[in-house]
Amino acid sequence: MEVLRYCLWSWFSLSNLMTMLFLSLFSSPSVLGATVIPFKLNALCKFCDVLPSSCNSTGICSSQCNITSICVHPDEVCVAIWRTYGQNMTEETICHDPSIPLYGVSLDDYNNSQCQMKQYKQLGPDAYMCSCKEDECNDQLIFTPDILNPTKIGDISVILVTLIPLLLTVVIVSFFYIYWVNYSSKFKSKPKSLCPGHDFCDRQAIISDMDQSENSTALANCINHNTELLPIQLDTIVGKGRFAEVYRAKLKQKPTDNVPFQTVAVKIFPLEEYTSWKSELEIFSDAELRHENILQFLTAEEHRSKHQLWLITAFHHIGNLQEFLRNNLITWKQLHRLCLSLARGVAHLHSDITLCGRPKVSVAHRDLKSSNVLVKDDLTCCLCDFGLSLRLNHTLSTEELANSGQVGTARYMAPEVLESRMNLENIESFKQTDVYSMALVLWEITSRCTAIGEVKEYELPFGKLRDHPCVESMKDSVIRDRERPEIPSSWTEHLGIKSLCGTIQECWDLDPEARLTANCVVERLSDLQDLNFDSVSSSLEDKIQNI
């Protein structure tokens, strides 16, 4: 028994040593040849306030926090607090001055280099807290029990036997984590979100669980409150809208990230357009809005000294759908991909449930048009410009509803919007007007497909009308003359396009109630996915591109 104890103990010490060596080897800047800095630098800590957590309070967990903040005061250290509430778990990551008690607890472990979770009676039975000094040390929440504390040891051999697999797991997990941190960024092209959200269904939502009154908290979480603004360098202007200008920009990355910068888009509002900035931010602040066909939001910043308000999002270098269609012809496959992804984006926006089944607030875009759709590298669409969007929660006041009548771009306005006779009491009406506008965009995409026969120069829907037609001339065309964009008979020789045109016509019906829902359009288009209408002509089409 003694021999066994001795072996286990030696093994434990060795693996512990290995783990420490391993972690310090890969995380210490001294290995990278960093010079010793003679003065005290402010700590760099994870700082997300409260987020849902998927830790189970055994082993080591990585936090879910994507925001690294430079602490405001040089005395502040990194702190993490982990709590359970029934089935739910949260983690709080902050900077804190250890000379001041936090939640009634005097921090006694802040000289540690790692965040070793401990229970404190002041925090209640289901909470742990740790503090530490190394950069971003509150990213790793270490829950392993303090085995050297004799009061907790019943039989050390039993503890050691249970610890061995745990230590092995720690070593393996650390290895994969370090590998992931060091190498995976090379392969990741997606920008990292700075705002709480979830890309995967198995993560828990916090914002979705909030009611509307709590949306202001979500909003606050999505503004970069650090005294330091993000290291962003503006490049060229790529778009100009009613209220703001959009720039391509470089977001400087951490030295460990392998790439020097990430390209992002920065939408800059003058301070006078605070309301537009805030309403777009309010839409983006709902973590459940995240979807591959909706522009990915990163964070918002107030640049008060420059009298500017920023929204920082992913950048898509192909640009907007209108410019893409103006300069390119597309094949049936590409047409199908663009249309299906567009309908998926609108369906998600309108939906009151996420793909993972969590509740979300339905949103009406209210300014859908080809210039408010971006084309991603994989030739799928994502919706952007939510400046006029409306959250369709049931608490909308009659005043808010009354003010929400005629907005958008006249060319793409549904007949009932042109006539200001929308049923404002029914939130479905707002979705029906979006479906009408989406139908015009689907028609625009179809008009540039080589499978329709002769493809003309690119034209906007109702292209014969002048540049920015007014509401009155749109009313004449759309309501009095019942005009819609032309669908020549040659288009319907291709069975896929014939079916798509049928769907488009059902979406621009004069009667809003008769229109399809965006979800129904997704289903119709998905049904066309695997049908091979003309293998010969589609392979020919693939060659006729990019005129």
Considering 109, 135, 286, 367, which one is annotated as catalytic? 367
Q: Which residues pair with 90 in a beta bridge?
A: 52, 83
Quick check: 239 binds ligand ADE (CB under 6 A)? yes
Distance of closest approach, residue 323 Cβ to ligand ADE, in angstroms? 9
Q: Tell whether residue 345 is a contact of ligand ADE (CB under 6 A).
A: no
Q: Which residues contact 108 (CB under 8 A, 6 or more apart)?
A: none
Report how many residues bind ligand ADE under the rule CB under 6 A: 13
Taking residue 518's Cβ as centre, other Cβ atoms within 10 Å add up to 23
Which two structure tokens, joined as six digits, stand for 198?
């979830």
By CB under 6 A, name the one of 238, 401, 424, 455 that touches ligand ADE: 238
Closest approach, Cβ 313 to ligand ADE, in A, equals 5
**Closest distance to ligand ADE from the beta carbon of 50 (Å):** 29
Residue 368, CB-side half-sphere exposure with 13 Å CA sphere: 32
Residue nearest to ligand ADE (CB): 265
Stretch that binds ligand ADE, among 15-23, 308-316, 439-447, 485-493 (CB under 6 A): 308-316
- Residue 287 has φ and ψ, to the nearest 5°, of -60, -25
Q: Which is nearest to 49 in space by CA: 190, 233, 196?
A: 196
Helix spans in 259-390 (H): 274-284, 321-327, 332-350
- Is 374 a binding residue for ligand ADE by CB under 6 A? The answer is yes
**Complete DSSP assignment for 8-75:** HHHHHHHHHHHHHHHHHHHH-GGGGTPPPPSSPPPPEEE--EEEE----SSSEEE-----EEE-SSTT
In this chain, which stretch among 56-64, 138-146, 282-290, 307-315 interacts with ligand ADE, using CB under 6 A? 307-315
- Report, in Å, the least distance between residue 159 CB and ligand ADE: 54
Specify the residue, 374 or 427, whose C-beta has the smaller distance to ligand ADE.
374
Q: Among residues 223, 246, 349, 435, which is the contact residue for ligand ADE, using CB under 6 A?
A: 246
| 232 binds ligand ADE per the rule CB under 6 A | no
Distance in Å, CB of 294 to ligand ADE, minimum:
11
Question: In 180-297, which residue ranges form alpha helices assigned H by DSSP?
Answer: 185-187, 215-221, 274-284
SS3 string of 489-547?
HHHHHCHHHHHHHHHHHHHCCCCHHHCCCHHHHHHHHHHHCCCCCCHHHHHHHHHCCCC
Could you say which of 12, 128, 315, 462 contacts ligand ADE (CB under 6 A)?
Answer: 315
* Binding mask of the shown chain, residues 255 to 294, with x at each position contacting ligand ADE by CB under 6 A: ----------x-----------------------------
DSSP 288: G
SS3 391: strand
Q: Is residue 385 among the annotated active site residues?
A: no
Which residue stretch of 53-61, 315-323, 389-397, 408-416 sits at the interface with ligand ADE (rule: CB under 6 A)?
A: 315-323
Q: Is 198 one of the binding residues for ligand ADE (CB under 6 A)?
A: no
Give whole-number Cα distances, 138 to 216, 270, 347, 382, in Å.
Answer: 26, 37, 39, 35
Could you say which of 163, 268, 312, 384 contacts ligand ADE (CB under 6 A)?
Answer: 384
The residue from 29, 59, 270, 319 that contacts ligand ADE (CB under 6 A) is 319
Catalytically active residues, by annotation: 367
Binding site for ligand ADE (CB under 6 A): 238-239, 246, 265, 295, 313-316, 319-320, 374, 384
